[in-house]
């Protein structure tokens, strides 16, 4: 349910490609997107230095992805603010399921608000904000916990590319354009935090809002990090009404769980409504890296696609908590 580009087909080329471990069978992946307009597209247009091209790109993007903004007084500013809103929501939803994109450069951010350019991406096992999956990301630039900041950095590059169009009253006044861009970009952290907290409330079965919710979430995550608890399985356990599986006898976890139960008790909703909300927001299974590797290995080494087909079958209903999928739950 998280906005994403989709894979339409994989076609073998009959040729081999040299990779780290030697030659592997080559293929072309065909993917489908609402469009392939990215932040990098705007950077390229700005580098070309043609204002008319930049205006045309803004108009085309608005028409394709934001038709409700047609006729805006300041089209470029309206586009920037809308993209900021969509990206804040998207990154929060990624993080709510433990997803790490891996290479969030500006050419891998689609203005439509869809996830694009899957490379060294993966879903986190043990919870740790410093988790990375790209073999070249030695500094942790694209780590799980850095994704909001990197998204804002990318959006700042988009704003830079659009600067010539952001102040239509005083064309050429760079200071005014920068001021407007900064005001828009400064909204991102607050938007992200709201989406993130709303998502975590849903994962914990909270249908109302209270001031202490943020500390409730922070305490859970801190405990998960101390114990290297599995992200997906922790929330799956909570969805079924159990304490976290690896910490049933931990006094701190028990105290936290009592706080959660008390918090739920202050909202006017039944236990069945709470559980239904959690089932919609806590995946029962995720595509764990070792299962993906097994599927790739079987397909490339033995021409056996049954492993992949079984994995795809399970992942077709990731929020189904009734399936017997124990083999796909283990970290």
Active site residues: 107
Give the DSSP letter string of 283-330: -S----HHHHHHHHHHHHHH---HHHHHHHHHHTSTT-TTS--GGGT-
Separation between Cα atoms, residue 198 and residue 185, nearest integer Å: 21
| Eight-class DSSP state of 98 | T
Could you give the 3-state DSSP secondary structure of residue 11? strand
DSSP letter string over 206-224? --S--TTHHHHHHHHHHHH
- Indicate the helix (H) or strand (E) that contains 147: helix 147-166
Burial of 101 (0-12, 13-18, 19+ CB in 10 A): buried
**3-state secondary structure string across 12-23:** EEEEEEEECCEE
Helix axes 39-48, 147-166, angle to 10 degrees: 40
Task: Tell me the two tokens of residue 149.
Answer: 């900041």
């Amino acid at each position: 349910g998280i906005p994403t580009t989709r894979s339409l087909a994989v076609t073998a080329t009959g040729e081999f490609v040299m990779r780290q471990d030697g030659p592997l069978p080559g293929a072309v992946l065909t993917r489908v997107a609402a469009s392939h307009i990215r932040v990098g597209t705007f950077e390229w247009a700005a580098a070309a230095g043609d204002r008319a091209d930049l205006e045309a790109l803004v108009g085309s993007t608005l028409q394709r992805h934001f038709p409700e903004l047609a006729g805006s007084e300041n089209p470029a500013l309206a586009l920037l603010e809308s993209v900021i809103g969509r990206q804040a929501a998207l990154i929060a939803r990624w993080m709510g399921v433990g997803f790490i994109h891996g290479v969030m450069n500006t050419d891998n951010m689609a203005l439509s608000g869809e996830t694009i350019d899957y490379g060294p991406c993966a879903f986190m096992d043990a919870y740790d904000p410093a988790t990375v999956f790209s073999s070249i990301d030695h500094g942790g630039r694209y780590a799980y916990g850095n994704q909001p900041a990197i998204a804002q950095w990318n959006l700042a590059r988009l704003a830079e590319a659009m600067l010539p169009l952001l102040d239509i009253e005083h064309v050429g006044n760079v200071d005014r354009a920068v001021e407007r861009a900064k005001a828009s970009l400064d909204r991102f952290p607050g938007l992200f935090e709201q989406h993130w907290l709303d998502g975590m409330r849903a994962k914990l079965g909270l249908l109302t809002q209270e001031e202490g919710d943020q500390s409730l979430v922070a305490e859970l995550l801190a405990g998960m990090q101390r114990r290297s608890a599995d992200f997906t399985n922790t929330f799956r356990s909570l969805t079924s009404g159990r304490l976290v599986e690896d910490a049933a006898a931990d006094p701190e976890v028990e105290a936290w769980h009592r706080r959660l139960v008390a918090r739920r008790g202050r909202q006017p909703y039944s236990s069945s409504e709470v559980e239904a909300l959690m089932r919609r927001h806590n995946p029962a299974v995720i595509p764990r890296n070792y299962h993906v590797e097994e599927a790739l290995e079987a397909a490339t080494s033995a021409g056996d696609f049954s492993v992949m087909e079984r994995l795809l079958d399970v992942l077709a209903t990731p929020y189904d908590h009734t399936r017997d999928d124990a083999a796909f739950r283990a970290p």
